Amino acid sequence: MIQNPVLPGFHPDPSILRVGQDYYLATSTFEWWPGVRIHHSRDLVHWRHCTYPLTRTTQFDLRGNPDSCGIWAPCLSYAHGQFWLLYTNVRTLAGAYKDTPNYLITAPTIEGPWSDPVYLNSSGFDPSLFHDDDGRSYVVNMEWSHRAGRTPFSGILLQEYSRAEQKLVGPIHRISAGSPIGLSEGPHLYKRKGLYYLMLAEGGTGYEHAVSLLRAPAITGPYEVSPYHPLISSYRTAGEGLQKAGHGSLVETEQGECYVAHLCARPIEQDTPRAAEEYDGLHCVLGRETALQKVEWTADGWLRSAQGSSAPAWQVAAPALPAHPWPKEPTLTRFAPDAPLSPHFNSLRVPMDEHWVSQRARPGYLRIHGRESLMSFHDQSLIMRRQQAFDCVVETELDFAPDSFQQMAGLLAYYNTQNHAYLCVSHDEALGRVLLLLGNDNGIYREWAGPVAIPAHGAIRLQARFARRSLQFAWATADGDWQAFGPALPTALLSDEHATRFEGGYARSFGFTGNYVGMACQDLTGRRQPADFAWFDYRETAC
């Protein structure tokens, strides 16, 4: 069986692709570096991280991008002997306007090398590339409208892409306004038996989300809505089910079995029974994840769920493929001068380079030089990984000698610049080296515990223990016992819903990512005081 979600934790907007016996899943990375996370499978059951195609500043620039902006909704395809990847670098999110330049890169293999980008357009986000059987290629994307009194999702646009000229050419067609669900985005085109199928994400990316399917005799339409509508949705389904199901992408196995990859979410409150209509008070700390559903073609040429319901299933029948598990990954990360960092680690908005993070400066340690504050959109010094389980323990060992209260380093639980919790070592004029538990709650600065004096010298260990709805920090000397530090915090602080705010009918902020945990250092004096981390351990625990 396929156990959902197949990619737990922050892995939204999946684009799935089969090339021969290999299956690839590309997901959005938003403001995190490197860009676009691609996983690989041979059986649709077992997945491993494969590559990041966006690794250079010539491909994308995230400095200054607000929270939940950056790389949205990649589309991965293979044709004409190479891989194609489309993506949006969203630069404006809150309010009426969206700045959404769309780009295309290519590579001879999934590992690369990936090209520098070709600019496509900026009319809306979620670009997708369709390769027709006549050799022509087309780009579809949603169109964004800022005009008052009208739906901001104003339709799906189609335009031909000239591979020879490396640009969009010819007329722009508005091929569909979607289904009555509305808010149509995430378009993907497919062709079967001479008919064109348009798969859409609809209903917004929250609890009313859905995957819709439309069909037309010509690529420009007119498109009719499937009688099996919606194809996938968890809206008003049982509260214990996968939620927010939408943004689908279709793949067919060599044996002709079909699956839709879609995003989903799991609220921390799913352990409490509630009515299907009750969505207030739910919080998704792990962000939007990726799941798979089996679908089948009907006699009248439509896709419908093989599970008998549009509601997504936790377990789905796996395809008739040989099992292909991957080696189990270690939980403990140690640092060595010539070893690459684990692909689970990401930085925020800027690449990891020797200017601010190094495994060579002090062999056996990861040295992070302090830079800007946790509210900066530019040069933060964070090395983080996704939280992928409700119940997990994160630990590290830190050697840090601050001489100013403006210098901090430690263990961070981070949703975005406005919402995070930070167990850090700092300096106090009266107490010397101290421990603090501080953070932001919707932009309001908090100090939940400390400052408390700790030994003036030597390494200390830091711990964050997640137990679904609560987060407890602790600390210890290098050879001492763990001591709880500060109150248990609600993990809802680090959720999609807590980070999303509307004012006057406009979004002021969105929670589109998911919680991260990891190592951080700040030096607001500008002197770049370094912090040395000996190891990092992330392990999932029993509920």
**DSSP-assigned beta bridge partners for residue 49:** 39
Q: Go through the chain and tell me how many residues it has.
A: 543
pLDDT digits (tens, 9 = 90+) for 47-72: 999 999 999 999 999 999 999 999 99
Q: Quick check: 240 pLDDT over 90?
A: no
Q: What is the pLDDT of residue 381?
A: 98
Look-up: residue for tokens 């995957």? 211
pTM of the model: 0.96
The predicted structure's pLDDT at residue 228: 96
Q: Give tens-digit pLDDT for 408-445.
A: 999 999 999 999 999 999 999 999 999 999 999 999 99
**Per-residue confidence (pLDDT) for residue 506, from 0 to 100:** 76
pLDDT, averaged across the chain: 96
pLDDT at 276 over 80: no
Please determine, for residue 15, whether its predicted confidence score (pLDDT) is greater than 90: yes
CA distance 459 to 122: 50
pLDDT tens for 66-92 read: 999 999 999 999 999 999 999 999 999
Mean pLDDT score, 86-112: 95
The pLDDT score that the predictor gives to residue 358 is 98
- pLDDT value of residue 75: 98
Res. 326: pLDDT tops 60: yes
Catalytic residues: 13, 185
Statement: residue 238 has pLDDT above 70: no
Kindly tell me if the per-residue pLDDT of 496 is higher than 90: yes
Residues 6+ apart with CB under 8 A from 366: 335, 341, 357, 358, 359, 383, 519, 532, 533, 536
pLDDT band at 505 (very low <50, low <70, confident <90, very high): confident
pLDDT of residue 507: 76
Class of domain 2-316: mainly beta
- Percentage of the chain exceeding pLDDT 90: 92
Cis peptide before 222 (omega within 30 of 0): yes
Residue type, 130: F
Instruction: Provide the residue ranges of all domains of the chain, joining segments of one domain with +.
Output: 2-316, 332-540
How far apart (Å, rounded) are the C-alpha atoms in residues 410 and 461? 9
The pLDDT-based confidence of 278 (bands split at 50, 70, 90) is confident
Which pair of tokens denotes residue 378? 């530019």
Q: What's the CATH number for 332-540?
A: 2.60.120.200
DSSP string, 249-313: EEEE-TTS-EEEEEEEE--GGGGS---TT--TT---SS--EEEEEEEEE-TTS-EEETTSSSSPP
Residue 413: name the closest of 444, 382, 436 by CA: 382
Exposure of 23 in the CB half-sphere (CA atoms within 13 A) = 27
Q: In the prediction, which pLDDT does 517 show?
A: 98
Fold match flag (2-316 vs 332-540): no
| CB-based contact 289:8 (threshold 8 Å) | yes
What is the rounded average pLDDT of the residues 152-162? 97
Cross-strand partners of 402: none
Q: Which residue has the tokens 């809150």?
A: 94
pLDDT at 95: 84
Q: How confident is the model at residue 543 (pLDDT cuts 50, 70, 90)?
A: low
What percentage of the chain carries pLDDT values higher than 70?
99
In 3-state terms, what secondary structure has residue 162? strand
pLDDT the model gives residue 426: 98
Mean pLDDT (whole number) for 311-336: 96
| pLDDT at residue 542 is higher than 90 | no
DSSP state, residue 492: G
The predicted-structure confidence for 182-206, as pLDDT tens digits, reads as follows 999 999 999 999 999 999 999 999 9
